[in-house]
Chain A
Amino acid sequence: MYKWFATKRIIKGLFMYALLIFIMSALFNSVVETTMRSQIEEQVRLESMKLKNTNTAALQKFQNERREKLIKNYKLDRPIWERIVYRAIDTITFKFGKSTIIKSSQGERDVLTIIAEAIPRSLILFTVAAVFEILFGIYLGLKKAQKPGGSLDKSTSLITMIVYGMPTWWLAMIMILFFVYTVKIFPSSGVHSVPAPEGFMYILDMLWHTALPLLTLVLIGFWGLAFVVRNIVLGILQEDYIMAARARGIPENSVLFGHTLRTAAPPLITMSLLSLLGSISGSIIFEGIFSWPGLGNLYWIAVQQNDIPVLMGDLAITIGLYQAGLVILDLTYGFLDPRIKVGGKA
């Protein structure tokens, strides 16, 4: 049964991804093609510069031929709906083309290489932050639910509301202002020092650079999670079997972390994954403040340099990661809560 459920969900995810890429392709068709045309012009110019000892007429002829051939290659002479489909298929198969300005660390201009460099850095930062957020969030949430309306519950709920509308990137600015330029204990930007140290020191150096972005993400993230955990756990603590467990004299911590947490696991994991997805969808540009060279920082650079191919590739990959996250979310939920995969309609 689970196999069926999983296959269905994955196929649905793939279909959704294709559909979204198709919509994006239609939406941004004209700007993408303008960039393509100027890239073709550039290539023709480059090639004609290599030619030597030719007269004007021959050069003109060569340029026209090349231009036409390239336009045919890129299918720019086809009707518009065909171009949109073609562009969408290109994107789905990860053919993002060449960037206009941005280069990878090896100096390549292939958009896929540039993005592939950025993905792991983003994933590491956000998943590690999510792990810490979940740990702190669950712990604090359980403590809050234990004495609802108590002073701990009230004060932390207040903090939850205070940070509710606070932009992560602004907190990042403040953290840099304080920890980098006032109390000089953290570096301001990047993943490692330049030049990067060798061996064990390399790892330490990287940790040192990761500390501040991580601290910022966790500091703003776990309050909301704790609030949700509290509400979920509060519902479970009303159940009869919890009362029975307490009546049997099982220690409070065991009731809390054993009995309650197991029942609360499915919604808790959903919430945690959702908060991870939320940070991809909502606070990814915070990387730009720290010059953390991930996907979010790539948006900054691409916007500033007006590099359309990189922008489009970045968007496609972000949408893909988000889709993958949603699929994983449903699969875990189905795994933990057997009712989901059996019930036909949600």
Chain B
Amino acid sequence: MNIKDLGFWFRDFWAEFKREGSGLVGLALLVIFVLITLFEAPLLPFKEANTRWRDITYWQDNPTNAAPVWTNLFTPKKAARTLNLNKGLKETITDTEGNSFVQESFTYRFTADKAPLDIIIHSTIKGSVPFTVLVERPDGTDIQLFQKYIESDVPTEVRFSLNNDSKNSLFAFLKLHETSENLSRVSSGSIRSTDILFNKAREGMADSFEALKGEYRFIVKAQVVNQEQFVMQDTRLVVTGSVSGILGTDNMKRDIFSGLIAGLKWALFIGLFTSAVSVLIGVFYGIISAYYGGIVDTIMQFIYQIFVSIPLLPVLIVVSAVFKPSIWFLIGVMVIFFWPGSVMTVRSMAFQIKEETYIEAARALGAGHRRIIFNHMAPLLIPYSFASMALSVPSAIVYESSVSLLGLGDASIVTWGQILHDAMMGNAILNGLWWWVIPPGLAIAIMGMTFAFLGFAMDRILHPKLRTR
């Protein structure tokens, strides 16, 4: 079978495949998956999700266990969503006394009914710098939130969190409006800063929240004492909302959507690689076993019998628990147990092909064993194995996620099974965090469905016996 034959064969195959509705759906889904893998970088909301999935400092600005943003559509009281403002308005000003300041201001349009959980400001600063954070509320009040004197010779990161660092100044603001009776019940330690800052200034604001909507201007101001040494850069503001991202966050503040995108390529790779390698091994094993027959066949069948009689998942679990394997090792173990799946069908088909006259002719012409197996038998049988290749992809993915679910996965990558393991450990079911449990499993199921659609469609075309009349 040469390239031209292959082209003809493929054209025939495609003509039939076009008529399989579910097969086309499967193909479309597969194309989508591949595209997502290729365009992973622009799709990832958190760019370093792949490498820093288990690094808590990377996720520290996110809310804990936040619901997806779109849940706002179904709630009467809209929650503030997580927002990243990476660039503010930077200006240099000089006051009347001749002091020069560098300030960067961020405008946050607050339209939700509930206050955000926190406002966080990051900045990288060098030199001897008196550093201030101010806010202008929509009603015209200015509040100084934070003041600190920073002294450092190297650029250091300063992190300001409204909740932790400005309780005193907001309590002072509260004092201006609240009655003394209400004030006696709260202290600067017990208030939630965001609930005061985004509240309408009035009596009773300590008790109830009434959103003051409008534009809040956060100003980060640094006094330039020594021009040569001064650096202030990478200033950014994060609004930590109580809803976050497309699929919410987990108990370690990780963005679940990023995890799903990062896990996709591994699911695809584990499934395709394991099934392709193991089915190819199985096909050649079956052909060789049938071609040589006799004692070779007996021995090879015995080895096959051993592998067939091993329950895969228990062995996989124990191997993972004992050897703490990397993902490559795990794929290797799966290949070792997956190849027998396609041996029997191929062997029985190879028994028929072996007796065909053209094989006899090839042998009469002096063709060697290898030539007959690789050039005359394998090309006929490999197309038939495509269906079983597609159909064994889902089980490879499910086995990997089962092992990961037990917490035995490769810790250097992100897979869907590991996200579900964290969900189990974080009591996601008990706490009703459905956005943490449903999406990863659904992704596994959809991936399985994709290959089931493809596999069953190919099966119907390649084994016409099963066709519906």
- The residues of A with any CB-CB pair to B shorter than 8 Å are 16, 19-20, 24, 27-28, 31, 148-149, 153, 157-158, 160-167, 169-171, 173-174, 176-177, 180-182, 188, 231, 235, 277, 280-285, 288-289, 299-300, 302-304, 306, 308, 311-312, 314-315, 318-319, 322-323, 326
Contacts of B398 in A (CB 8 A): 165, 167, 282
In the docked arrangement, what's the CA distance between A165 and B445, Å? 5
Q: What's the nearest-Cβ distance from chain A to residue B320, in Å?
A: 8
| Least CB separation from A148: chain B residue | B468
The complex places the Cα of A282 from the Cα of B315 at a distance, in Å, of 11
- Shortest A28–chain B CB gap in Å is 6
B393-414: CB near A (< 8 Å → 1, else 0) gives: 1110111011001111000000
Does A282 contact B441, Cβ atoms closer than 8 Å?
no
* A283 to B22 CA separation, bound complex (whole angstroms): 27
Chain A residues near B465 (CB-CB < 8 A): 235
Interface of B with A (CB < 8 Å)?
Answer: 22, 305-306, 309-315, 317-319, 321-322, 391, 393-395, 397-399, 401-402, 405-408, 420, 423-424, 429-430, 432, 434, 437-438, 441, 444-445, 447-449, 451-453, 456, 465-466, 468-469
- Looking at A282, A284, A312, A326, the one whose CB has the most chain B CB atoms below 10 A away is A282
Contact A165-B437, Cβ < 8 Å, known A153-B468, A285-B406, A304-B407? no
- The SS class assigned to the A binding surface is helix
**B448: nearest residue on chain A (CB-CB)?**
A165
> Which residue of A166, A181, A283, A314 contacts B444 across the interface (Cβ within 8 Å)?
A166
The 5 closest A-B pairs by CB, nearest first: A165-B448, A165-B394, A170-B441, A164-B452, A281-B311
Which of B322, B391, B437 meets A31, CB within 8 Å?
B322
A303/B309 in contact, CB under 8 A: no
Name which residue of chain B comes closest to A20, CB basis.
B310
- Chain A min CB distance to B434 (Å): 6
Docked CA distance A148–B432 (Å) = 42
Instruction: Report yes or no: B22 in contact with A161, Cβ–Cβ below 8 A.
Output: yes
* Interchain Cβ contacts under 8 Å between A and B, 26 examples: A20-B309, A27-B319, A28-B318, A28-B322, A149-B469, A153-B468, A162-B449, A162-B452, A163-B445, A164-B448, A164-B451, A164-B452, A165-B397, A165-B398, A165-B445, A166-B449, A167-B398, A167-B402, A169-B405, A174-B437, A177-B434, A188-B430, A280-B311, A282-B312, A311-B322, A318-B314
Known contacts: A148-B469, A162-B449. The answer to whether A173 contacts B314 by CB under 8 A is no
Q: Which residues of B contact A180 (CB under 8 A)?
A: 429
Point out the residue from A161, A164, A181 that lies within 8 Å of B432, measured CB to CB.
Answer: A181
Residues of B within 8 A of A304 (CB): 407
In angstroms, Cα B319 to Cα A158, docked, is 36
Please tell me which one of the listed residues B319, B420, B456 contacts residue A170 in the complex, with CB atoms under 8 A apart.
Answer: B420
Main secondary structure of the interface of B (DSSP, over half): helix
Q: In whole Å, how far is A300's beta carbon from the nearest beta carbon of chain B?
A: 6
Across-interface contacts of B420 in A (CB, < 8 A): 170, 173
- Option from B314, B397, B423 in Cβ contact (under 8 Å) with A314: B314
State in angstroms the CA–CA spacing of A188 and B394 once bound together.
Answer: 28
A167 to B319, CA, bound (A): 21
Cross-chain contact A161 with B402 (CB below 8 angstroms) = no
- Closest CB in chain B relative to A345 CB, distance in Å: 10
Closest to A163 in B: B445
Which residues of A have CB within 8 Å of B456?
Answer: 157, 161
Across the interface, name the chain B residue whose C-beta is closest to A17: B309
- In the assembled complex, the Cα of A71 lies from the Cα of B51 at a distance in Å of 46
Would A167 and B401 count as touching, CB distance under 8 A? yes
CB neighbours of B305 from chain A (8 A): 16
Report A273 CB to chain B, min CB distance, Å.
14
Cα distance A308–B313 when bound, in Å?
17
Is the Cβ of B313 less than 8 Å from the Cβ of A281? yes
B257 to nearest A CB, angstroms? 18
- Known A24-B315, A161-B22; further 19 A-B contacts with Cβ < 8 A: A162-B449, A163-B445, A164-B391, A165-B394, A165-B395, A166-B449, A169-B405, A171-B441, A173-B420, A174-B438, A174-B441, A177-B429, A180-B429, A280-B311, A281-B311, A282-B399, A285-B405, A306-B321, A315-B318
Which residues of B lie under 8 Å from residue A326 when comparing CB positions?
A: 309
Which residue on B lies nearest to A181, using beta carbons? B432
Q: In this complex, what residue of A is CB-closest to B315?
A: A315
Q: How far is the CA of A235 from the CA of B317 in the complex (A)?
A: 39
Check if A318 sits within 8 Å of B311, measured CB to CB: yes
Q: Name the residue among A24, A170, A322 with the largest chain B CB count within 10 angstroms.
A: A170
Which one of A161, A306, A308, A311 has the greatest number of beta carbons of chain B within 10 Å?
A161
Task: Give the Cβ gap from B71 to chain A, nearest Cβ, in Å.
Answer: 15
Q: Interface centre among A160, A167, A182, A188, by most B CB within 10 Å? A: A167
Complex Cα gap A19–B398 (Å): 28
- A173/B437 in contact, CB under 8 A: yes
A299 and B449 contact, Cβ closer than 8 Å, known pairs A170-B420, A173-B441:
no
Q: Which residues of B contact A289 (CB under 8 A)?
A: 424
Whether the pair A282, B434 counts as a contact (CB closer than 8 A) is no
A176-B314 in contact given A162-B449, A165-B398 (Cβ < 8 Å): no
CB distance from A169 to the nearest CB of B (A): 6
Q: How far is the CA of A181 from the CA of B465 in the complex (A)?
A: 47
Q: Which residue of B lies closest to A149 (CB)?
A: B468
Give which listed residue, A166, A311, A314, A323, contacts B445 with CB less than 8 A.
A166
**Chain B contacts for A31, CB-based, 8 A:** 322
If A169-B402, A303-B406 touch, whether A164 touches B311 (CB-CB below 8 Å) is no
Quick check: B311 and A299 within 8 Å, CB to CB? no
**CB-nearest residue of chain A to B337:** A281
Among B22, B406, B432, B468, the residue within 8 A (CB) of A177 is B432
